[in-house]
Chains A and B, each alone.
Chain A
């Protein structure tokens, strides 16, 4: 079986992760080219990957069938459009764009060109969360009453990053919005967010939050609450709880080890796995494996452009809500008419 030729735009942390996974774990993809405005030459040499400084080469090369977009967020929408017009299947890291308008445009082009667009909400492919979703589907808790998502980073990003990130809701909570929709299987119709910046100076300086609470009201009546923090010193905290009076499902952290220390000073267990590359390692592979199957068998992706749109809508709503101190309603339907311009 001939592998699918794939190219990567962006050699940042996530681009390199995908590249390494493709080269070592995915015989069905062949990484034929990579591009970036600021190449890491040492890394390129070590892994012997063909590089081009000219992004147009990637779009024009007829042999390239699929593209991974791992560039900074502000480039995503335009690069998806170029890739789609070049008839390439696209995997794009979140977010699909910075505004609703941009994303609707992207959805429209991709549909026109009949190419696949999968968005990088990798946590859906995490085996624990897949199992959680299955148990919800099998009615372990009947209709959920309360959804709690805890998502905390071990250390905050550097000041420069915070400055351009779009804020905690667009940069961080966006995964949790997608997870909430994924687990409950319903749209969120209203968001109310609160935040503070008591711990991290950069967040405080750039008028961003380092800790946030986000209320979600689902269309079916389920209530949700997300708590995010940029700086949980004890590690990467990723926990989910789904509750009703019929049962309670909990997803706990994966720990660095299963070693415990019992001494006269106390009982100590391992911390949660340090950060996303460790905690979600398998999901990064499974999501691209799924992308491959979609290309190969002409299937719709499991995480669609609409999912990308909705998560961004919720993030924008949360940002507005925190600023205006009032709940923001979110339309559950795709406004197709807005896409035509």
Chain B
């Protein structure tokens, strides 16, 4: 079997995770090169050559390389995508790609013009539970959907230095929820109202960030979406989704670390939810890779990935609107001139 030759750009926490998963679960992919300035700390990897960031162009010039896997810091994504397009390489790029809509528009046009396949790292779309949920909704099991509730809470807050470059809670954290609303409803967001505060760490206020938020979305098709978020539970990764329709509701609950329970005369104890995003979303990351492989292997003309730049752009638009809403304390409407996203979601 001919393996797809790939270069990985970025070997930080997320890059390392992807490489490990690729090595264990994706024999179809062969990583030929990893680019990162901080590779000296990494364990030596068999058959993989390590490169410095300065060598990126040189690596991309290799004609036998088919795809790149971008897991570098957020502010490098757009440039690396442009370089990859220039060299005709197909692309996987971690979210957020860019916080700037015009940059995203430029990248969308460039990938289309150059027939470059691109998948973005909106991994939750590939989570088995959320896929089941999406399936049942699409099969009309709930009838007319009217309300979706999403709980997205992190176990431990990130450092203040991370917060400074993250883009803020909505762009960094809730971006997944905005995409999930789009993914599950098959509609785009028409209006956002976001309330947030720095209730855990007041220092975030000094850098215009928050750690606690409640967001309401009104979708174009009228469905209401409620998101509640916190940067820190201390009890694990709290990821719950509830969808209500005319025929009933579907609920995705948390995954406990184990299924054991302990009962005494005082109380009942059961396991906490999974504590790390890698643990909680491992299957999503693997499924996402498989989808990328399928995308690369496909001979179908004009094939779109299951998580496109358009999807990413919409999520970013919602996040930017959420920022504005929170700042002004007013609901913010999104203007829509592009219904391609709606059509695609129904297919």
Count of interface residues, chain B, beta-carbon cutoff 8 Å:
41
Instruction: Quote the shortest CB–CB distance from B22 to chain A (angstroms).
Output: 35
The stretch from B13-21, B194-202, B284-292, B314-322 touching chain A is B194-202
Q: Is A232 an interface residue (CB 8 A)?
A: yes
Q: Is B346 an interface residue (CB 8 A)?
A: no
Contact present for A199 and B146 (CB under 8 Å):
yes
- Which of these, B146, B231, B329, contacts A327 with CB under 8 Å? B329
Q: Is A139 an interface residue (CB 8 A)?
A: no
Instruction: Quote the shortest CB–CB distance from A216 to chain B (angstroms).
Output: 9
Q: Which residues of chain A from 223 to 258 have a CB within 8 Å of any chain B CB?
A: 223-225, 227, 229, 231-234, 243-248
Residues of chain B within 8 A (CB-CB) of A225 are 214, 216, 226, 228
What is the CA–CA distance of A174 and B92 in the complex, to the nearest angstrom? 49
Interface string of A178-207 (1 = CB under 8 A from B): 000000000000001011101100000000
Q: Which residue of A lies closest to B198 (CB)?
A: A221
Contact present for B247 and A233 (CB under 8 Å):
yes
Instruction: Quote the shortest CB–CB distance from A309 to chain B (angstroms).
Output: 25
- Which of these, B193, B222, B247, contacts A215 with CB under 8 Å? B193
Contact present for A229 and B146 (CB under 8 Å):
yes
Contact present for B230 and A243 (CB under 8 Å):
yes
A143, A224, A233, A246 interface centre (most CB from chain B within 10 Å): A233
Instruction: Quote the shortest CB–CB distance from B198 to chain A (angstroms).
Output: 10
Residues of chain A within 8 A (CB-CB) of B196 are 223
- Which of these, A150, A194, A327, contacts B218 with CB under 8 Å? A194
The stretch from B96-104, B121-129, B232-240, B304-312 touching chain A is B232-240
Residues of chain A within 8 A (CB-CB) of B214 are 146, 215, 223-225
Residues of chain B within 8 A (CB-CB) of A196 are 146, 218, 222-224
Q: Which residue of B lies closest to A327 (CB)?
A: B329
Contact present for B230 and A146 (CB under 8 Å):
yes
- Which of these, A199, A232, A247, contacts B144 with CB under 8 Å? A199
Q: Is B115 an interface residue (CB 8 A)?
A: no
Count of interface residues, chain A, beta-carbon cutoff 8 Å:
37
Contact present for B195 and A215 (CB under 8 Å):
yes
Known: A198-B144, A213-B216. A221 touches B246 (CB 8 A): no
Q: Which residue of B lies closest to A325 (CB)?
A: B331
Residues of chain B within 8 A (CB-CB) of A229 are 146-147, 244
Contact present for A245 and B232 (CB under 8 Å):
yes
Interface string of B143-179 (1 = CB under 8 A from A): 1111101000100010000000000000000000000
What is the CA–CA distance of A336 and B245 in the complex, to the nearest angstrom? 44
Q: Is A18 an interface residue (CB 8 A)?
A: no
Contact present for B226 and A211 (CB under 8 Å):
no
Instruction: Sample 17 A-B pairs with CB under 8 A, ordered by A number.
Output: A152-B244, A194-B218, A196-B222, A198-B144, A199-B144, A215-B195, A221-B199, A223-B199, A225-B228, A227-B149, A229-B147, A232-B249, A233-B247, A233-B248, A243-B233, A245-B234, A327-B329
* B contact residues vs A (CB 8 Å cutoff): 143-147, 149, 153, 157, 191, 193, 195-197, 199-200, 212-214, 216, 218, 222-224, 226, 228, 230-235, 238, 244-249, 329-331
Inter-chain pairs besides A194-B216, A212-B224, A245-B232, 14 sampled, C-beta below 8 Å:
A143-B199, A192-B195, A192-B331, A195-B224, A196-B222, A198-B222, A211-B244, A217-B195, A221-B199, A225-B214, A232-B249, A248-B233, A326-B330, A326-B331
